[in-house]
Amino acid sequence: MSCASAVGKIILFGEHAVVYGRPAIAVPVSDVRATVTVESAERGAGITVVARDIGRTIRMGEAAADEPLTFTVRNTLTCLACDERALDLNVTITSTIPVAGGLGSGAAVAVALIRALCAHLGRPLDAAQVSALAYRTEMLFHGTPSGIDNTVIAYEQPVYFKKGYPIETFAVRTPFWLVVGDTGRPGLTKESVADVRAAWQRNPTHYNALFDTIGHLADRARQAIEAGEIALLGPLMSENQACLRELDVSSPELERLIAAALAAGAAGAKLSGGGRGGNMIALVTPERAARVQAALYEAGAKQVIVTGVGV
C-alpha cells in the first residue's frame, strides 16, 4: 500500500488580480490535509476511486471524461506511460480541507492523488511535474485558473506567483499567525472569476488599475514578510480587502467575519481565494488569537482554525 498527502493553502495577497498576470502570495497550511492511499486490487478489478468524505465510489471505465478524480488518475498514468487497463487498484481519498472554502481542497486532492500513484508505481515526479498535472485538474474546476493553488500545494513553501514567470519561493523571516474563519457558505470561484472577467471586459481601464493596486500590495507584502516587518501586513491585508470588495467578490458573510475579527483586535483581515463565501483570514498576535477565534464563532463562522506561517 502507498500513501501520500498534500497540504491546504491560503492566498495571503493578490487573488483575482493574479489571473491577469499580477503577482500573488500564497502559503501552505499544514493544519489541514488531503490524503490518498493506493492499494493493489484483485486481478481484473480495474481502478476504483473511493472519495470517503463525499460518499462517492467511481470506477475508472464508467466515469465521465470530465470527472475530476478519474481525470487526474488518467492524466497521471498517461504522464507515467502506464496503461490504465493493465492496472488493478483501489484508490481511497480522505480530506480535512473544507470543500469550496478557498483553502485549495481540489488542488490538494489532485496533488495527493498524483503523489500516491507515483509512489505506488515507483515513479516519483518532482514538484514542477506534480504541479503541472494538478493544474490540468484545476482547469476543470475553475476554467481559467492562474495556477497558484497547484503551485503552492505541490511545492509546500510560501510562493510568490506570477503567471508565466518561474516559480519563486521565499523565506518567512519572522513567523506570524493567522486566524482562518469559514463562512460556511461555499466559495464560488468559477462564478466570481467569470464575473470579474466580464466586468474587466466592460471597463478594462478601471479594472486594470485595480489589479495593479492589488499587485503592488502583494509586492509590498512579500518585502515585509522577507524583512520580518509583520506589523506592515495587517494594513496591507485590509487594503487588499477594499480592492476585493470593489471587484465585487466579497459577501455579507465574509464582511461580517472580517468586521468581527478587526473588532476583536486583529491587525488586518480579508477574504482568501475566489470569494463570495469560503474563508477569510485575519492577522493576529499569538495573544489575540483565542479572542479573535471566539469572536468569529460568535459572528457565525462554521469552523475557525489558527495557523502559524513560517513557524
Copy the grid coordinates of residue 91. 484508490
Of the candidates 297, 305, 283, the residue with the CA atom closest to the CA atom of residue 177: 283
Question: Whole-angstrom Cα distance, residue 196 to residue 191?
Answer: 9
Smallest distance, Å, CB 169 to ligand PMV? Answer: 17
State the minimum distance, in angstroms, from the CB of residue 244 to ligand PMV.
Answer: 9
Nearest to 149 by CA among 66, 296, 250, 26: 26
| Contact partners, residue 89, CB within 8 Å, separation at least 6 | 38, 39, 40, 41, 47, 48, 120
**Cβ closer to ligand PMV: 88 or 156?**
156
Q: Is-catalytic flag, 149?
A: yes
Please identify which residue in 12, 93, 148, 261 interacts with ligand PMV, judged by CB under 6 A.
Answer: 148
Q: How far is the CB of 231 from ligand PMV (least distance, A)?
A: 26
Antiparallel, parallel or unpaired: β 279-284 and 176-182: antiparallel
Of 15-23, 68-76, 215-223, 282-290, the segment contacting ligand PMV by CB under 6 A is 15-23
Tell me how far apart the alpha carbons of residues 282 and 266 are, in angstroms, rounded to a whole number.
6
Q: How far is the CB of 89 from ligand PMV (least distance, A)?
A: 28
Instruction: Spell out, one character per residue from 17 to 36, where the chain touches ligand PMV: x when CB under 6 A holds, - when not.
Output: -xx-----------------
Q: Which is nearer to ligand PMV, 68 or 187 (CB)?
A: 187
The 70-109 contact track toward ligand PMV, x by CB under 6 A, reads --------------------------------x-x-----
Distance separating alpha carbons of residues 199 and 194, to the nearest angstrom: 9
Per CB under 6 A, the segment of 142-150, 236-244, 255-263, 294-302 that binds ligand PMV is: 142-150
For ligand PMV, the binding residues in 185-214 under the rule CB under 6 A are: 187, 189, 193
Which one of the listed residues 149, 195, 219, 248 is annotated catalytic? Answer: 149
C-alpha span between 272 and 228 (Å, rounded): 22
In degrees, rounded to 5, the angle at the alpha carbon of residue 220 between the alpha carbons of residues 239 and 105 is 70
Question: Considering only residues 22, 115, 120, 142, which one is a binding residue for ligand PMV as defined by CB under 6 A?
Answer: 142
Nearer Cβ to ligand PMV (173/216):
216
Spatial CB neighbours of 270, under 8 Å, sequence gap ≥ 6 = 237, 238, 240, 241, 244, 258, 280, 281
DSSP code at position 86: G
Which residues in this chain contact ligand PMV in the complex, by CB under 6 A?
11, 15-16, 18-19, 102, 104, 142, 145-146, 148-149, 187, 189, 193, 273-274
User: Active-site residue numbers?
Assistant: 149
